[in-house]
Structure 1
Amino acid sequence: MTLAINKIINSLLEIILFSLLPFLFWYFSARKQERFTDWIGLKKIKGAKKTALAIIIVTTFYLLISLILLNSLKNIENATTEFQGLRFAALPAIFIYAVFNTSFPEEILFRGFILKRLANKLGFAKANFIQGLLFGILHGVMFFPLVGNLKSILIILLTSLIALSMGYVNEKSSDGSIIPSWIIHAFSNFIAGLYAAFYI
């Protein structure tokens, strides 16, 4: 239970930290035009059937990539290492980690803030590429000293590709809602947590 409580505290801190810059930007530039939640894309999904299919396809791709990466990083400390071998006792903490500790704050920052603001200036394609690359770098750069250049670059490329896909689903299938990428991200992280708890 201590692990779950730690995850709740970490989640709150991450949500505040990752939302602070977007909130300040919205407050000084767009608060008179729309609500913060709409501005970052925390809104109802439109085009539910099309979006559901896109979520299934991208989630499947994300899961395959995640499991391959986790398997190749078996002896390297990563975000799910703390769940290793805990089995059912880790389930509450894994759920909190997957839904609120990583996916929600990262979706607010990358697909809710960076992608949307850059798309207004550069257009969707360039903005999606930039947010995808930044997402990949954030997830891969910490592995350079642990696994070497080649594996780290592969991690960056694969996580960037996943981020590009999530940005596309949000903006082109869901009318700008970040909920689809939040679902994809959370489900994939939940499976990664289960993998650590039960199989590593």
Structure 2
Amino acid sequence: MSAAREEDVVRGTNQPLFSPNEEAVGQIMSLGFSRNAAIRALFYTGNQSADLAAGWLLENGDRNLDAPLEADLQGSDSSDDDEFLTTDSFKMVFVVNSELNMGVGKIAAQVAHAALNLFRNMIEDDVKAEMLLAWGHLGETKIVLKGDNTQQLEALATQATNLKLDRCVVHDAGHTQVAPGSATVLGIFGKVDAVDKVTGKLKLL
């Protein structure tokens, strides 16, 4: 097996860990990242797109991104860890209401509110707490997207509910910048493929 493909193989077997999206690998490498970094990022974001993977790389710059993916799996044989080694990963997505023209600091605060609300709503449920644990184990992928207006956020929230995804809409108290009760951010948490059915066509903020 060529050295370029070693990172795609689970330790101790000849079975591929997963097949990375080669087009996305090329796009990520064109941004200056190594092939190993591209493959790791695609693995942890569900092998979906170069944009999502690039976002993960920027958020996880403190990791050894050039290490082969196989290195993440070495040194742990527990069944608790093994159940998280899956491309069926999770992510938290935030859709910002752009019609409110919030400043950068305001957006950051509202996204933080959404993240905390989702976490608090889920942590008391044993099954959902396990999902949060898996999400944390795989890098806590968080993506901020651009929403058009309040109506779009409400429609996306309904879609998320219909797909049984955890979601919350932040309504601001109105102390600064926006009117009281304004829907500032929609937060959604779930499996990558399910969340993408709701927000996959939106652009990064």
TM-score, length-scaled by structure 1 = 0.33
Higher helix share: 1
Relative contact order, CA 8 A, sep 6+: which one is greater? 1
For the pair shown, the structure with the greater C-alpha radius of gyration is 2
* Structure with more strand by fraction: 2
